[in-house]
Structure 1
Amino acid sequence: MIAQYLEHTLLSPTAAFAEMDKLVAEAIEHHFVGVCVPPFWVKKVKRDLRQHDIAVVTVVGFPLGYNRSEVKRYELQSCIRDGADELDVVMNVGAVKAGAYPWVKQEMAALAQEAHQHERLLKVILETAYLSPEEIVQSCKVCVEAGVDFIKTSTGYAPEGATLEGIRLIKESIPAGVGIKASGGIRTLAQAQAFIAAGAERIGTSAGVSIVAEAQQAGGGAV
């Protein structure tokens, strides 16, 4: 079922209670693998989903990623206390552009250790729209060495989101034990299927309901 790949996402800065209630209701109805919400909403959404096997995902250092490491770490700790199951951390693109890969590795290792101590998953958002192929490969390398669980393509706020070329490049650059989350601009069943075929194990999208509806019309919701 396609819903098992979808993280139902609402990261709009204007989203309020009604929108969050709708997101939770849709996630329960369609059995999405998770919901991705801003840190402010984690505690409420976790409470609303307490009887359901749906992961609460949130973002750290979002959407620009250039916060100081200690700020990201505090934000991650706060989100864990509020009940987040998975943390999507924005990598510092400026550090990558400066060639400071040892620093990036150190930051991600500290965050991964913190997440894993609390049995949470850490996903790193590369923001591939700003990176060259060589920078994507090297960023994947240091993130894997740091012990992250997933590599994620995009925040959805850059000029371009996930691309099939980017997913394939990430897939070639990481071992089998590290997952891939495609996000940014994925709005149709055909897009989701293409990204899954290219190697993505999670799809972050605000169009989860319409994607599931497409799948059902196409025949039973299969990938």
Structure 2
Amino acid sequence: MQLNQYIDHTLLKPTAKPEDIEKLCMEAVANQFIAICIPPSYLKLAKSILKTSNVKIATVVGFPLGAMTTDAKVFEAQDAIAKGADEVDMVINIGILKTGNTEYIWNEIAEIKKAIGSKILKVIIETCYLNDAEKKAACLAALKGRADFVKTSTGFGTAGATFEDVQLMKQIAGDKMKVKASGGIKDRETAIKYIELGVSRLGTSSGVNLVISEKN
């Protein structure tokens, strides 16, 4: 199994410096990862490094809390695409979801998808804060808003991806939307299990270690 084609090689730490982003980009090229995932402020830098490679550039919107206004998220998304992003990973408004107002959630997702057009939209639902009914509601909202992916976690919550959450999300997504598992994926066995459960992407900062262990 070629894990590299599932990996969004990720660096979203608040302490990330330009040289760290440069290193991430070079690792992504060397290992032929499908994408990198970085803060928006480093998009132009990443684009300059990756312009001749096949590595896609993903960034985050409304990150990590999701509590920004829809207008702010739409602006962030449009700005990200203008600066070179191929993909946008947005965070839903978790508090509003928990009130049961799913219309707000899917409207926001739809607005962002409309703003970025054919570019890939991944919707982070932050599963660690949701019960199963809320997870299902969030996935259905992502589906209704025409998202390309639903994603488990920011990596900044109280927990990351779990096998159970991915199974639940895949049930809702079916073949109409892809699933990205993110947060806490640090070894090859875990990565393979997620792929077997049907995920199309793995968000991890341990991508290099995963492919090294694959070769050994």
**Map of 2:215 onto structure 1:** 216
Partner-residue secondary structure (3-state), 1:12: coil
Partner Cα distance (2:151, 2:138) in 1: 11
Once the two structures are superposed, residues 86-128 of structure 1 have per-residue CA deviations (whole angstroms, 9 ceiling, x without a partner) of 0000011001111110111111111111122xx2110000000
Identical amino acids, percent of aligned pairs: 39
Aligned to 1:194: 193
Q: Report the CA distance between 1:131 and its aligned residue.
A: 0.5
| SS of residue matched to 2:170 | helix
Residue 143 of structure 1, CA deviation: 1.1
Q: What is the CA-CA distance between 1:16 and the residue it aligns to?
A: 0.7
Task: Tell me the equivalent position of 2:179.
Answer: 180
**How many corresponding residue pairs?**
215
Q: 1:40-59 alignment to 2 at 5 Å? A: 40-59=41-60
Measure, in 1, the Cα distance between the counterparts of 2:13 and 2:145: 30
Corresponding residue for 1:75? 76
Aligned equivalent of 1:165: 164
Which residue identity is paired with 1:98?
Answer: T
Partner Cα separation in structure 1 for residue 174 and residue 192 of structure 2: 22
Matched with 2:135 is 136
* Structure 1 runs, 4 residues or longer, greater than 4 Å off: none
Give the gaps of 5 or more residues in structure 2: none
Give the counterpart letter for 1:120 in structure 2.
K
User: What's the CA shift string for 1:195-223, capped at 9, x where partnerless?
Assistant: 11111110000000000001011xxxxxx
TM-score of the two chains, using structure 2 as the length reference: 0.98
Give the alignment's TM-score, normalised by structure 1: 0.95
1:177, distance to aligned residue in structure 2 (A): 2.6
Structure 2: distance between partners of 1:3 and 1:54: 11
Q: Distance in 1 between matches of 2:18 and 2:115?
A: 30
RMSD: 0.7
Give the deviation of 1:74 after TM superposition.
Answer: 0.6
Alpha-carbon deviation of 1:67? 0.2
Equivalent position of 1:122 in the other structure:
121
